[in-house]
Structure 1
Amino acid sequence: MKPRTSGSVIRLAAPLRALAQRFSFLLLVLACVALMMVGKIEALSVDNARARVTDAFAPILDAISRPAATAARVVESAVEVQNAFEENQRLKAENARLLQWKQAALRLESENASLRSLLKATPEPSVSYITARVIAAPGSSFLRTLVVTAGRRDGVRKGQAALAGPGLVGRVIEVGEWSSRILLLTDINARVPVVVESSRQRAVLAGDNSDQPKLLYLPPETPVQVGERVVTSGHGGLFPPGLPVGVVTSAGERGVRVLPNADLSRIEHLRLVEFGLPGTDLDQASEWK
């Protein structure tokens, strides 16, 4: 009797299973709708039930996440070790190159000293400088100057070069007891003898109250390329040769434009340098006026 009963149950359950499989998607949709309605009607109860379920599964999720987090940390550590190794190799190679340059510089310094002694060359004048803070930029469309907190009492003199980090900014044109005024390279009154470093072609850097002064008196056939460095030539007696001024940004029908190395709109401190050159304190300097 028992086998016959179990067979009857199986035969009765088979259509029900087929019916359930046939309408399973619809049943799931209805269940979702019912849960949404319950959530709207009994929001507090649903939130409490969700919180209990979350609390129940939190330890399991934490246990599962720990191996994943550990694996991620291991992978991250391996990547950091690899990056550190590559950085170490790069720094070693760079250090080796710097040591070579150091040896070359020491050799050239010794050779230069020996040649100077043979030629009885006059030593370069000593260089002194004063660091001053910019306190005002009372410029306008027709004047580009800076005011700094250093004056006659600090040893500032007219004609001293004003430098900011990467290069020449201008020169001292007015000295008070406690402050001084700096005429910038971009001012329309500024004129600086310069040389294009690669071609060694001389020119005059002339400000025109724009952010990029222009080069004057360049021969038309001079091959000036964008990106070439421009440095002081040393003519005129105010600045020594070789001070960085800027780089060529354009060379065409509108002339050659130079972008100063220093961002003249963001200067906070300046070095007022005394190079000990004759003519530094001349008011009517041919370089600038």
Structure 2
Amino acid sequence: MIRLSIPLRQALTRLSLPVLIAAAFGAMLLGKADALLIERSRMAIADALSPIWGAVRQPVSAVRDTVTEIGTLWTMRTENARLVEENERLRRWQATALALEAENALLRRQLTWVPEPAPQYRTARVVADAGGTYARAVLLAAGPQHSIRKGQIALDERGFAGRVTEVGSRSARVLLATDINSRIPVTLEGSRARAIMVGSNTARPRLQHWPEGVTPREGDRVVTSAQAGAFPAGLPVGVVRWSESGAAEVELFAQLDRLDVLRLFDFGLSGILPPEAVARPEPRPSGRR
């Protein structure tokens, strides 16, 4: 092996930088002088290296695809385990529901229970917030010879929305549950306690007059009560929410800010109260909140 002396190596090191700089300038000048030659040289190098790049890329792509597939399989395994657990839970609920249904049918037969007829309803489109006597009300478009009457209950696809208070020849007005004039008898499903849901011209009506010793719990489901025969029992209304000020409010299921159509139900309640017994118009506030 040929060993260079230290001075010779230092000299070659000093000369390498100027040589490389000169080669770079030469390549630049050659590229300016003959661009076609440089392009051919570059493409020749690319053609020579492309098989190598392809050979190197194949195992890299294979490894990447394998890693992706392993991640997908792991995700599918986790999802499958969750679905199996959920399916088992639903089977248990189904078994419980079937047992309760059979028991309920037996009790009804023993009591000679007569089922209530299915309520009649019609669908009407919301056309405007007509204002008028009430601050929170909507106007429904109804064709001639319609069967809408005062006292009918309005529901959207989620739950209780309001009640018909005014009827014209081609329209009807529904007082929404959030209006300050609205008074709805309700039941707290968790405790079966009765209360009154009072509108406040805000998005959440308030709960009032629940029994002493009973406190509405956060998240309790609220349904209508058949108290005084004003409403049928069990219509979904919302859930209990406690405000920052310590007031019990109801977060409605119905989306009153996005009403498009309403279903008007005629439950055929005997001794049903007129709308004025539940909603007594009060002076309209100067501005809406």
TM-score normalised to structure 2 length: 0.75
Q: Which one of 160, 166, 186 corresponds to residue 174 of structure 1?
A: 166
Ranges in structure 2 where 5+ consecutive residues have no aligned partner = 281-289
Report the Cα offset of residue 69 of structure 1.
2.9
Ranges in structure 1 where 5+ consecutive residues have no aligned partner = 1-5
State how far apart, in whole Å, the 1-side matches of 2:194 and 2:42 are. 81
- The amino acid of 2:103's aligned partner reads E
Does the CA-based 8 Å contact 1:143-1:209 persist in structure 2?
A: yes
How many aligned positions are there? 276
Aligned to 1:116: 108
Does the CA-based 8 Å contact 2:134-2:181 persist in structure 1?
A: no
Report the Cα offset of residue 272 of structure 1.
2.2
Report the Cα offset of residue 115 of structure 1.
1.8
State how far apart, in whole Å, the 2-side matches of 1:91 and 1:132 are. 40
Report the Cα offset of residue 214 of structure 1.
0.7
SS in 2 for 1:209: coil
Give the 3 Å change call, closer, same or farther, for CA 20–175 of structure 1 in structure 2.
farther
Report the Cα offset of residue 187 of structure 1.
0.8
Matched, 1:188 2:144: no
Matched, 1:87 2:79: yes
Report the Cα offset of residue 193 of structure 1.
0.4
Does the CA-based 8 Å contact 1:236-1:287 persist in structure 2?
A: no
Matched, 1:263 2:255: yes
Q: Which one of 104, 127, 135 corresponds to residue 135 of structure 1?
A: 127
Aligned to 2:202: 210
Report the Cα offset of residue 164 of structure 1.
2.2
Does the CA-based 8 Å contact 1:151-1:175 persist in structure 2?
A: no
State how far apart, in whole Å, the 2-side matches of 1:66 and 1:53 are. 22
Aligned-residue CA RMSD in angstroms? 4.0
Question: Within 5 Å, which residues of 2 pair with 1:50-89?
Answer: 52=43, 56=47, 60-89=52-81
Aligned to 1:246: 238
Does the CA-based 8 Å contact 2:149-2:167 persist in structure 1?
A: yes
Note the alpha carbon deviations across 1:47-74, whole angstroms, 9 max, x for none: 9699859955566545433433333233
Report the Cα offset of residue 212 of structure 1.
1.0
State how far apart, in whole Å, the 1-side matches of 2:234 and 2:166 are. 25
Give the 3 Å change call, closer, same or farther, for CA 108–250 of structure 1 in structure 2.
same
Note the alpha carbon deviations across 1:75-128, whole angstroms, 9 max, x for none: 222322332333333333323332332333233223222222322334223223
Does the CA-based 8 Å contact 2:194-2:211 persist in structure 1?
A: no
SS in 2 for 1:183: strand
SS in 2 for 1:265: helix
Does the CA-based 8 Å contact 1:230-1:244 persist in structure 2?
A: yes
- State the identity as a percent: 39
Does the CA-based 8 Å contact 2:177-2:199 persist in structure 1?
A: yes
State how far apart, in whole Å, the 1-side matches of 2:123 and 2:42 are. 66
Q: Which one of 272, 278, 283 corresponds to residue 287 of structure 1?
A: 278
State how far apart, in whole Å, the 2-side matches of 1:22 and 1:234 are. 102
Aligned to 1:3: none
Give the 3 Å change call, closer, same or farther, for CA 151–278 of structure 1 in structure 2.
farther
SS in 2 for 1:186: coil
- The amino acid of 1:268's aligned partner reads D
Report the Cα offset of residue 186 of structure 1.
0.5
Report the Cα offset of residue 160 of structure 1.
2.1
Give the 3 Å change call, closer, same or farther, for CA 71–202 of structure 1 in structure 2.
same
Does the CA-based 8 Å contact 1:236-1:286 persist in structure 2?
A: no
State how far apart, in whole Å, the 2-side matches of 1:54 and 1:285 are. 92
Does the CA-based 8 Å contact 2:134-2:175 persist in structure 1?
A: no
- The amino acid of 1:184's aligned partner reads L
Report the Cα offset of residue 233 of structure 1.
1.6
Aligned to 2:221: 229
Give the 3 Å change call, closer, same or farther, for CA 154–81 of structure 1 in structure 2.
farther
Give the 3 Å change call, closer, same or farther, for CA 55–122 of structure 1 in structure 2.
same
Does the CA-based 8 Å contact 1:162-1:271 persist in structure 2?
A: yes
